[in-house]
Amino acid sequence: MFRWGLIPFWAKDPSIGNKLINARAETVEEKPSFKHSLQRKRCLIVADGFYEWKKEGTAKRPYRLTLKNKELFGFAGLWDTWKSPAGDIVNSCSIITTTPNDLMVPIHNRMPVILPREVEHMWLDQCIVESGILKSLLVPYPADQMMAYEVSTLVNSPKNNGPECLAEFEVNGLSLQADLHQ
C-alpha cells in the first residue's frame, strides 16, 4: 500500500507529504521533492475516474470524470520510500497534474495526467531518464475521449465510499447533465 502525498527519501518529517499530493508537470523536474522520483521512481496510479469541483461563487459542485469507454486508465505518478527515525518504512506517491483539456476548462484549471495505454510502457521504462522525453508524455488527455457528469456532494467527505458517490446527480428523478460551457 502507498500513502498519497509523496514523502521524499530525504525528508525529516512525513508531514511534508500532506503538501505533495500532486506534482505540476510544468515544474516536476525542477522541484527537489520530485526530481529524483521523476528519474527513477515513476508509476501508474490506476483508476476508473476522478472527481473535480466546479466553483460557482462560494459553492462548489462535484463532477466525476471518466473515459467514455469506461475502461481503467493510469495516472502518471511518482513514488518514493521514506524511512522514519524509528525505522518504519513508508511508501508514498503523488499524481502529476497538467493544464486542463477542453472538457476540464469549465470545471477546473488543472487535471491529472492520464497516460494513453500506448505510452504507459515509456513512462515505466527506467532506461528513459531524459526529462524532455518524460515531460512530452505529461499532456492533457484528449477531451473527446472523456466525459463528465455532476455527482452528489456525498463525495465531499472521505467517510462516504459507496456506489452512491458514482451516481449521476438527479433532482426529482431528473438528471442534471450540465452544459459545462455555460
**For residue 59, what is its C-alpha cell?**
459553492
Q: List the domain boundaries for the chain.
A: 3-175
Task: Spell out the CATH class of 3-175.
Answer: alpha beta
Q: Residue 10, Cβ neighbours under 10 Å: how many?
A: 11
For cell 521533492, the residue is 33
The pLDDT profile of the chain, 182 residues, written as one tens digit per residue, is 899 999 999 999 999 999 999 999 999 999 999 999 999 999 999 999 999 999 989 999 999 999 999 999 999 999 999 999 999 999 999 999 999 999 999 999 999 999 999 999 999 999 999 999 999 999 999 999 999 999 999 998 889 888 888 888 865 444 444 444 43
Q: Under 8 Å CB-to-CB from 79, ≥6 apart: which residues?
A: 2, 6, 37, 41, 42, 43, 91, 92, 93, 94
pTM above 0.85, yes or no: yes
